[in-house]
Structure 1
Amino acid sequence: MFDSLAGSETPEEAKRIESNIEAIWLQSGSPTADLLTRRALDAFQRDDHSAALTLLTAAIDAAPKHAEAYNKRATVYLVEGHVQRGLLDIRQALRLEPRHYGAWVSLARIMEQMGDEATALEAFRRGKALNPYIDEIDENIERLELIVRGREI
């Protein structure tokens, strides 16, 4: 599916493939972890971030190799302003699933926020290589290329 996504010719085709990949990512192999993750996503939708963090931590304890639970917990941490914790979880998600285009984009945004534009640019490029139709990916890459390379006179 990742080859199909990288080679998709339209945003609609990419979205269809993305949905399939993301549905698989939600499956940890542990019914307990899957239930906890679903409940965490529900809590997050209700803006109950404390419950979401507790549930995602429990999901990770039940399935420590479940990259998507780390990715989701990173999202909650970042929304809560815990950048370092979010960064640790994104890096763990990428160790477990290096093709996680969403985690690459999250890493890029964090690194840019921290002032590391070169690393941010590389992370955006890696995300785009996996999924060329990520929202605003080209604009982010162009903007960071100008910052990293500088403008020609």
Structure 2
Amino acid sequence: MSRLAPLLLILVLVGCRYKTKQEANDACIKWAETTRSIRPQSKDIDEQYYALEDKYFNVSKSDKGVTVDLKEGFKLEDFEKEVEQLEAKRDKEDKGKLMLFAGCSPDEDKKEYIGYTEEMRQKGIMGNGELVRSNQKVVKHFRYEKDY
């Protein structure tokens, strides 16, 4: 059994090689497409956000487009404060939109494509705000023999 382990390791390493750079790139892209995922924010948070919009704003449609007006007796600062509180609640419950991005980057010196993953979290509600990136990890190596 101990003699078999090095042989299996060699077979695994040789099996990870692609004949051409294009084959390695294609394999890496295919891997990345099947690895990406999105966990959307909770429906409850979405509904609360829409309720805030209804509470603070009047929306009217006309031939000229859509008009959004602050309802009488309300302040924009109060709306923004309630949205911040809702975002804090969402972040505390960890139900924000979490995307696992997977990508490929070439390493010409080593003749390989590196498959990596990275978490991206949407800060802000309903697509407003910024993406925060974290936890980048190298997951796979796609080595190739020839540059063509």
Same fold (TM over 0.5): no
- Looking at secondary structure, tell me which structure has more helix per residue: 1
Normalising by the residue count of structure 2, what TM-score does the alignment of the two structures yield?
0.24
TM-score, structure 1 as length reference: 0.24
Which has a greater percent of strand? 2
